[in-house]
Chain A
Amino acid sequence: MFVCDARKDAKRGIKQKAGQSLIELKNAGFTYGGRDILSEMTLRLQPGSFHFLTGPSGSGKTTLLNLCYQALLPTTGMVRIFEQDVRAMTRDDIAKMRRRIGVVHQNCQFLDHLSVRDNLALPLSVSGREDDIHPSNLDDLLGWVGLTERGEALPPELSGGERQRAALARAIIMSPDLILADEPTGNVDWEMAQRLMALLVELNKMGKTILIATHDLNLIRTVKSEVSARVLRINNTKLQLAGADL
């Protein structure tokens, strides 16, 4: 299915001008009840780039990802997604923008009354693409994330790691331009973590832009041996480019 989706993207890609950035933060800041979580964030995600986001627990990684798909609005500065100012977006704009972004949540969110399979297919039906729901594609996808046996299970019946893998599968089913993943390997063993990273590297090689928040330095090293990935670090509310030692 990925091959077929990549072809579709090539067609869609014509519309996308080179040099555009998918996400752009200019001096963006975010405050929770008077407390600065993020400040003076400046960042551009170019199409096809691969970024890691690290930082101590509570440093604001999740908050930054939330700014990148308009789950939160910046308290100061500017955030642009697909060249559109997040403050100027209508609710329909937001919906359309989110169809182009696959999000893997730290606390994965599913519809608990639908099977894993149906949850995976949901982004397609939500955007009126029921025709693109092919059982074989769903099988492939479940196979990629090692959930072939769990397709008919309900989300609450999954383990933490299984839920994360299902969330990753759902994030990529729309073949989005950008994938935002918050600790996608937080609850899985090393072998599965590598497998999921391999999947993301594969997607990146197809031209997808990827931003992953993680603590796992070993994982970052593994990926950096495969593709050129940049590592961002949140330190004291500020964004830094991490050193080459990683």
Chain B
Amino acid sequence: MAARWDAELARTSTIRISAPEGQMAAQSEAVLEVLRTTPGIASARVMSEAEQRKLLEPWFGPDLPLDTLPVPRLIEVLEEGRGPDAAGLKLRLSAEAPGAVLDDHTRWRRPLVNAATRLRILGAVSILLIAGSTAAMITLAAQSALAANGQVIGVLRLIGARDVYIARAFVRRFTLRALVGACVGTVLAMIGVLFMPAAAEEGAFLTGLGFKGWHWILPFLIPPLAAFVAFWATRWAAFRTLSRLS
């Protein structure tokens, strides 16, 4: 999500020109000229009235009398490479076209990208935390199961059971349980994601919580991961408990 936001927001910026009716055309020309000679700019074009109307529609309704309103003109700028030097560009614009304001999106992009990056770190950390606490819970459960079965362990040892044999029985049980539990949980979660309000393209850009393409494979990794964690946690707990029960 963070990468998506970053990529889509970084490549465009807008220049807004507010000027008296008579100077609008001249200032637009001047701005375009400045942009043409600025490195890091792929193209720039004045947005048509229809496009501007479409942008404003959500706020002002469909029959906006654009020609009678002092609406600023918008120039869409597509960047290339590492983009233009924003500070220098602003300086030149103010010299050539005093009514032009560069809106380079970085102002509001940065916190969004930061938030998204944090969100991703948070996601990774919480997966680790969940795995860790799963392991801890399973360890405790296995330990108490073993302790509660002291008599059974005594009988098994009496007839020559090695620790591996005793541990295996417990490990098998706990691994299977974790596997089944994780399968049920994953299926439920995926149904949840599937039925999440299907956001439109622009909305998905912000919410973007669905899976795309190969990302659908990721949830299927959860059950084996849970089983893996359960297997090693139980095994470790079993051998530790058994060596104390001798």
Q: Which residues of A contact B (CB under 8 A)?
A: 71, 91-92, 94-99, 103, 105, 109-111, 122-123, 126-127, 170, 174
Of B151, B154, B158, B159, the most chain A CB neighbours within 10 A belong to B159
Q: Inside 8 A of A96's CB, which chain B residues have their CB?
A: 160, 162
Cβ contact within 8 Å between B162 and A91? yes
Q: Inside 8 A of A126's CB, which chain B residues have their CB?
A: 156, 159-161, 165
- CB of B92 within 8 A of chain A? no
Contact of A123 among B152, B159, B163, B246 (CB under 8 A): B159
Whole-angstrom distance between the Cβ of B185 and the nearest chain A Cβ? 30
Whole-angstrom distance between the Cβ of A231 and the nearest chain B Cβ? 26
Interface residues of B in 117-174 (CB under 8 A from A): 151-152, 154-163, 165
Q: Inside 8 A of A97's CB, which chain B residues have their CB?
A: 160
Q: How many A-B residue pairs have CB under 8 A?
A: 46
Q: Inside 8 A of B165's CB, which chain A residues have their CB?
A: 126
- CB of B68 within 8 A of chain A? no
Whole-angstrom distance between the Cβ of B145 and the nearest chain A Cβ? 14
CA distance A174 to B246 in the complex (A): 23
Q: Which residues of B contact A (CB under 8 A)?
A: 151-152, 154-163, 165, 242-243, 246
Residue ID in chain B nearest A128 by CB atoms: B165
Whole-angstrom distance between the Cβ of A241 and the nearest chain B Cβ? 29
Cβ contact within 8 Å between B163 and A98? no
Residue ID in chain B nearest A170 by CB atoms: B159
Cβ contact within 8 Å between A95 and B157? yes
Given contacts A109-B154, A111-B152, contact A122 B246 (CB under 8 A): no
Given contacts A91-B163, A91-B243, contact A111 B158 (CB under 8 A): no
Given contacts A91-B243, A91-B246, contact A103 B158 (CB under 8 A): yes
In order of increasing CB-CB distance, the 8 nearest A-B pairs are A99-B160, A98-B160, A95-B162, A123-B159, A126-B161, A109-B155, A95-B160, A92-B162
Whole-angstrom distance between the Cβ of B240 and the nearest chain A Cβ? 13
CA distance A161 to B136 in the complex (A): 45
Q: Inside 8 A of B160's CB, which chain A residues have their CB?
A: 95-99, 123, 126-127, 174
Q: Inside 8 A of A98's CB, which chain B residues have their CB?
A: 157-160
Residue ID in chain A nearest B163 by CB atoms: A91
Whole-angstrom distance between the Cβ of B207 and the nearest chain A Cβ? 52
Q: Inside 8 A of B154's CB, which chain A residues have their CB?
A: 109
Cβ contact within 8 Å between A111 and B162? no
Given contacts A96-B160, A123-B160, contact A111 B246 (CB under 8 A): no
List 29 interface pairs A-B (beta carbons < 8 Å), by A numbering: A71-B158, A91-B162, A91-B242, A91-B246, A92-B162, A94-B157, A95-B160, A95-B163, A98-B158, A99-B160, A103-B158, A105-B158, A109-B154, A109-B155, A109-B158, A110-B155, A111-B152, A111-B155, A111-B156, A122-B156, A122-B159, A123-B159, A123-B160, A126-B156, A126-B161, A126-B165, A127-B160, A127-B161, A170-B159
